[in-house]
Structure 1
Amino acid sequence: MSGHADTPWRTIHSAHHHCGWDNALEPVTTVAPGETLTLQCLDAAGGHYKPESTAADIATMDPARVNPVTGPVFVDGAEPGDALKVTIRDFAPSGFGWSAIIPDFGLLADQFTAPRLHLWDYDRTARTPGVFSTHARVPLKPFAGTIGVALAEPGAHDIIPPRRTGGNMDIRDMAAGTELYLPVEVAGALFSVGDTHAAQGDGEVCGTAIESAMDITVTLDLVKGGAPAFPRFSTPGPVTRHLDAKGYEATTGIGPDLMTAARDAVSGMVDHLSRWRDLAPEDAYLLCSVCGDLRISEVVDAPNWVVSFYFPRIVFE
Structure 2
Amino acid sequence: MPETLIKVDLKQSPYDNELVHNRWHPDIPIVAWVKPGDDFVIETYDWTGGYIQNNDSADDVRDIDLTTVHFLSGPIGIEGCEPGDLLVVDILDIGAKPDSLWGFNGFFSKKNGGGFLTDHFPLAQKSVWDIKGMFTESRHVPGVKYAGLIHPGLIGCLPDRAMLDTWNTREVDFINTQPDRVPPLGAPPTTKSAHMGKMKGEARDKAAAEGARTVPPREHGGNCDIKDLSRGSRIFFPTYVKGGGLSMGDLHFSQGDGEITFCGAIEMAGWLHLRVSLIKGGMAKYGIKNPIFKPSPITPKYDDFLIFEGISVDEWGKQHYLDVHVAYRQACLNAIEYLTKFGYSKAQAYSILGTAPVQGHISGVVDIPNACATLWLPTDIFEFDIMPNASGPVIHDMGGIDMPLSPDL
Normalising by the residue count of structure 2, what TM-score does the alignment of the two structures yield?
A: 0.72
1:153-210 CA-to-partner distances (Å, cap 9, x unmatched) read 3541110110111000000011000000000011111000100000001111111100
Does residue 235 of structure 1 match 2:295?
yes
Rounded to whole Å, the distance in 2 between the matches of 1:49 and 1:290 is 17
Q: Residue 12 of structure 1: which of 6, 10, 16 is its match?
A: 6
Q: In the TM superposition, what is the alpha-carbon distance from 1:114 to its structure 2 partner? A: 1.3
> CA 1:129–1:51 in structure 2 vs 1: closer, same or farther (change >3 Å)?
closer
Match in the other structure for 1:4: none
Q: In the TM superposition, what is the alpha-carbon distance from 1:17 to its structure 2 partner? A: 1.1
Does residue 181 of structure 1 match 2:268?
no
Q: Which moved more, 1:12-21 or 1:175-184?
A: 12-21
How many residue pairs align between the two structures? 305
Rounded to whole Å, the distance in 2 between the matches of 1:42 and 1:196 is 8
Q: In the TM superposition, what is the alpha-carbon distance from 1:51 to its structure 2 partner? A: 2.1
Residue pair 1:243, 1:312 contacting (<8 A) in 2 also: no
Does residue 311 of structure 1 match 2:305?
no
Rounded to whole Å, the distance in 2 between the matches of 1:183 and 1:167 is 12
Residue pair 1:122, 1:131 contacting (<8 A) in 2 also: no
**Structure 1 residue matching 2:338: 3-state secondary structure:** helix
| Bigger strand fraction | 1
Percent of counterpart pairs with the same letter? 29
Match in the other structure for 2:257: 202
Residue correspondence of structure 1 range 54-69 to structure 2 within 5 A = 54-69=57-72
Residue pair 1:144, 1:197 contacting (<8 A) in 2 also: yes
Q: Which moved more, 1:183-192 or 1:257-266?
A: 257-266
Match in the other structure for 2:92: 89
Q: In the TM superposition, what is the alpha-carbon distance from 1:312 to its structure 2 partner? A: 1.1
Does residue 284 of structure 1 match 2:349?
yes
Residue correspondence of structure 1 range 187-226 to structure 2 within 5 A = 187-207=242-262, 208-226=264-282
Residue pair 1:130, 1:140 contacting (<8 A) in 2 also: no
> CA 1:53–1:40 in structure 2 vs 1: closer, same or farther (change >3 Å)?
farther
Residue correspondence of structure 1 range 251-270 to structure 2 within 5 A = 251-255=308-312, 256-270=322-336
**Structure 1 residue matching 2:331: 3-state secondary structure:** helix
Residue pair 2:83, 2:242 contacting (<8 A) in 1 also: yes
Residue pair 1:131, 1:138 contacting (<8 A) in 2 also: no
**Structure 1: segments with no counterpart, 5+ residues:** 1-6
Q: In the TM superposition, what is the alpha-carbon distance from 1:85 to its structure 2 partner? A: 0.3
Letter aligned with residue 202 of structure 1: D
Normalising by the residue count of structure 1, what TM-score does the alignment of the two structures yield?
A: 0.92
Residue correspondence of structure 1 range 98-247 to structure 2 within 5 A = 98-104=104-110, 105-123=114-132, 125=133, 127-131=134-138, 133-153=141-161, 154=164, 155-207=210-262, 208-227=264-283, 228-237=288-297, 239=299, 242-245=300-303, 247=304
Q: In the TM superposition, what is the alpha-carbon distance from 1:112 to its structure 2 partner? A: 0.4
Residue pair 2:229, 2:296 contacting (<8 A) in 1 also: no
